[in-house]
Amino acid sequence: MRTWLRIAAIGVTLLLSNKVWAETITMPSTLTANTSSFVLLSDSGTTPSISGFTATDLLATITASAGTLVVTTTTGLEQASGYCDYTSDNSSEPTNCKLEASDHEEIGFIGTQAEINAAIATLSFKGDGTTGSPTVTLSITPAGSLYNSANGHYYKVVNHGSNITWSDAKTAAEASTLNGLSGYLASITSYQENTFIDDKAGVNAWLGGTDAGQEGCWKWSGGPDDGKIFTVGNDADNTSSGGCTVDTGYTVYEKPFGAGEFGWNTNEPNDAGGEDRLHIKTDGTWNDYRNNQNVQYYVIEYGGIEGETATTTGLTTLTISSIEASGSTHQAFDDKQLAGMVEAQTESVKRWMFNSTNSVMGRMEQYRRTGLNNGLKFSDFKLALANNGKNQSIEDKLKKHYIDKYSKAGLDNQGLTKDNVENFISGLPLTKYLKNEFSMEPKNWAVWSNGLISSGGVDFSVGELGRRSDSEGFTIGADFNLAENSLFGFALRDETEDVKISTDGSNFNSDNLSISFYNTWKPKEGNFIDTFLSFGETTQITNRIVDVANNTKVAGELKSQQIFGAVKYNFAKNFKDITFSNYSSLNFSYVMFDSYSETGDSNLKLSYDDRDLESTSVNFGTVVSSDFNFTKSTLFPYLKIEFNEDLTENSTLKANYLSSSSNQYTTHIGKSFSSMVSMETGFDWNFNNGWDLTTTINRIDKNGIGHQNYLKFNAIRIF
């Protein structure tokens, strides 16, 4: 009796042991997804997980038949060579995720069982509308092996450590097993398989082809394709010769390859010195070598042999029941190049209006700070340094901007130099207009200029493509005292901007022009009211990538008109030698974007409806300033802190493909940030000889999108 109890106990122990240590993958049985956002697989109620894998390092590969995959937890993981990037934030896509030969997206990473579980718990999927029932396949294998979802086969790229003959590599491969499958030197029968091995291996390695039996009659040796003829003749120039005929479905090609082709490098095979064994080169092409030539890698393939079934349970497929299955189609704005473009177009216009407003408001602040409004003033060039910007020569860029924008426009026939800049400004149309219409002489009014050069990039919205912008702007203004307590002025601004949406080539160039009217009024001592109104026009020439692989672009021209302005109230209070100026302002804008259609050789060209954008923001700030008198100069240092709250409402953009106008797609373009904090410090240094110099450092922190730094220089000459 005791013997039977002992046997039963052992049996139960073994049963429990097998249950505990069995290799299993848990995946949801169904998932409802969509094309507009990433959906966690765990939202199905089942969190993906693995158990029972005892290997220290495991390779996890996740394949989607369509759509996009992403994991957001990657602690301890190593990205597997040859697979796409496997991580991003929860609203954007990883990069380089399409296999060259198929629509299957594969992400791959190496880690322990615990590390992989932490990662796949954050696995998310977003459909692209190309199929109603996409699949997601998760494969777990020991690190060093590879799973190809296209044919269901496994592979190992073996480093022998020293040179190995083709014959010895074949013997070693056929002695190897994986997941209950017999190994053999890899036989490549498709473009996808060739690309898969090249992407994952990228080394000079033996394959299972040989013509040792008959010169020029290349056969696969071993595995399910054993004996199949795939090439006849040297230089791969024949399909049949000397009783040797290429088997149906096994033809390969000679470089240069066409679409979907693969195989021999140029002028190969050539049998140089008795070469009769096949290897794959680092660039994915084939060559013939002698049996004992210098090769230390070989590729083992597992799968496809009749009667064999993989014993591993480390492979599970989820069929997604998505909204595409109910008949929805591809959402145009799922294209991250397009989404990044329309967001950047809106941000560019808002940035242009922000620069225009600050140019004029800065002039009124300077006027009150220094009290300088006599004679001619030439002032203000500014270098904007963004997060990843690079310092550039201010003088060189200004010189180029002035010459290109104004000398060529016929405004200055002499060209701008240090000696004739005063004549240039006094001869501008605005100056002549003031003289002719209002008989205003230089002693009664001031002319000023403001230049802005910006180089760098800012991520305007988390989860969207990063953008880089380079801009040049120039403002010319004139103002005069209407009365002792009032300043009135006009300003013209011209600004150009180049914006790169991504490294793939999507971009646009923007030309902006505005005319502004402004006034600062002092109702009583220490109180000022600034008003500003501007009318602008923008033209954006766009180039959008629709096919990265083939560098296919479509072009467009988007025009918009803007009305924008601000009302600002300032209250100044002196405390001994320090002036405290508190202010609040209301900024508003109304932008009218015209409709337009893209052009180019692609069926992905879009037609966009017109739209409007209303934007409002409120600002609160404090300026602390003082003055220090010296023998020949006066120094005006100041510190300014400002808070901004953006109250912009979403703008709705509708578009349709020109090839199919019946389906209209919609996206909502909202504000890129909700609040902003700005800190600015600097000084004005007024010299008795007529010069006024200003240096300003400005930092802006925008909630959710990082920061931007500005360095500003003013050079004012009073005549």
For 101-146, the pLDDT digits (tens) are 334 467 888 888 898 899 888 888 877 666 556 778 888 887 778 8
CA 461, 462, 464, 468 torsion: positive or negative? positive
Write the burial class of residue 486 (CB in 10 Å: 0-12 exposed, 13-18 middle, 19+ buried): middle
pLDDT (average), residues 654-667: 78
Confidence category of residue 672, pLDDT binned at 50, 70, 90 = low
What was the pLDDT predicted at 240?
77
Residue 92 has pLDDT above 70, yes or no: no
Which of the two residues, 313 and 564, has the higher pLDDT score? 564
- Which amino acid, residue 476? I
Residue 470 reports pLDDT greater than 60: yes
* Confidence grade of residue 409 (pLDDT, cut at 50, 70, 90): very low
Binned at pLDDT 50, 70 and 90, residue 556 comes out as very high
Q: What local confidence, expressed as pLDDT, does residue 368 receive?
A: 72
Among 233-247, 479-493, 594-608, 698-712, the range with the most confident prediction by mean pLDDT is 594-608
* Cα 345 to Cα 509: distance, rounded to the nearest angstrom: 10
DSSP strand pairing (611-626 vs 578-593): antiparallel
Mean pLDDT of the chain: 75
pLDDT category at 377 given cuts 50, 70, 90 is: very low
Query: Rounded to an integer, what distance in angstroms lies between the CA atom of residue 506 and that of residue 498?
Result: 11
Q: Among 641, 714, 712, which residue's Cα sits nearest to residue 454?
A: 712
pLDDT at 467: 65
Peptide bond into 269 cis (omega under 30): yes
Q: Using the predicted structure, report yes or no on whether residue 477 has a pLDDT greater than 70.
A: yes
Q: What is the mean pLDDT of residues 642-657?
A: 83
Question: What is the sign of the dihedral through the CA atoms of 485, 641, 694 and 422?
Answer: negative
- Whether residue 10 is predicted with pLDDT greater than 60 in this model: the reply is no
Q: Residue 238 has what DSSP assignment? A: B
Q: Which band of pLDDT confidence, cut at 50, 70 and 90, is reported for residue 13?
A: very low
Continuous segment of H or E residues that includes residue 565: strand 552-575
Report d(CA 280, CA 199) in Å as an integer: 12
Is the per-residue pLDDT at 269 higher than 80?
A: yes
Does the structure show a pLDDT above 70 at 465? no
Higher pLDDT, 385 or 171: 171
Structural contact between residues 51 and 27, judged by C-beta atoms closer than 8 angstroms: no
Q: Do strands 445-457 and 381-386 pair parallel, antiparallel, or not at all (unpaired)? A: parallel
Which residues face 629 on adjacent strands? 634
Predicted confidence band at 169 (pLDDT cuts at 50, 70, 90)?
very high
Task: Give the pLDDT of residue 423.
Answer: 56
Q: Mean pLDDT throughout 358-366?
A: 81
pLDDT at 390 over 50: no
Coil/strand/helix, residue 342 = helix
**What is the pLDDT averaged over residues 529-542?**
94
Q: Which of 281, 301, 292 is nearest to 163 (CA)?
A: 292
Taking alpha carbons only, the member of 608, 580, 610, 587 closest to residue 671 is 587
Considering the chain, what percentage of its residues have pLDDT values greater than 90?
A: 19
Identity of residue 105: E
pLDDT at 585 > cutoff 70: yes
In angstroms, the CA 530 to CA 586 distance is: 11
Residue 336 and residue 36: Cα distance in Å, rounded? 11
In one letter, which amino acid is 249? G
- pLDDT (average), residues 340-363: 85
Helix, strand, coil fractions of the chain, as percent rounded to 5: 20, 45, 40
**DSSP track, 454-479:** EEEE---STTSPP-EEEEEEEEEEEE
Q: Is the pLDDT of residue 503 over 90?
A: no
More confident residue, 391 or 602: 602
| pLDDT score at 184 | 96
Position 7 scores a pLDDT of: 40
Residue 8 confidence (pLDDT) above 70: no
C-alpha 437/C-alpha 424 separation (Å) is 20
With pLDDT > 70 as the criterion, what percentage of the chain qualifies? Answer: 68
pLDDT at 83 over 60: yes
Q: What pLDDT score was predicted for residue 130?
A: 61
pLDDT band at 175 (very low <50, low <70, confident <90, very high): very high
Mean pLDDT over 70-83 rounds to 78
The mean-pLDDT minimum among 315-319, 387-391, 509-513, 657-661 falls in 387-391
What pLDDT sits at residue 323? 39
Q: Please report the pLDDT score of residue 536 as a whole number.
A: 93
pLDDT of residue 290: 93
Residue 461 to residue 538: CA distance in whole angstroms: 22
Distance CA 138, CA 122 (A): 14
Per-residue pLDDT at 40 exceeds 50: yes
Q: Residue 241, CB half-sphere, CA atoms under 13 Å: how many?
A: 14
As a whole number of Å, the end-to-end CA separation of the chain is: 118
What is the pLDDT, as a whole number, of residue 405? 52
pLDDT band at 172 (very low <50, low <70, confident <90, very high): very high
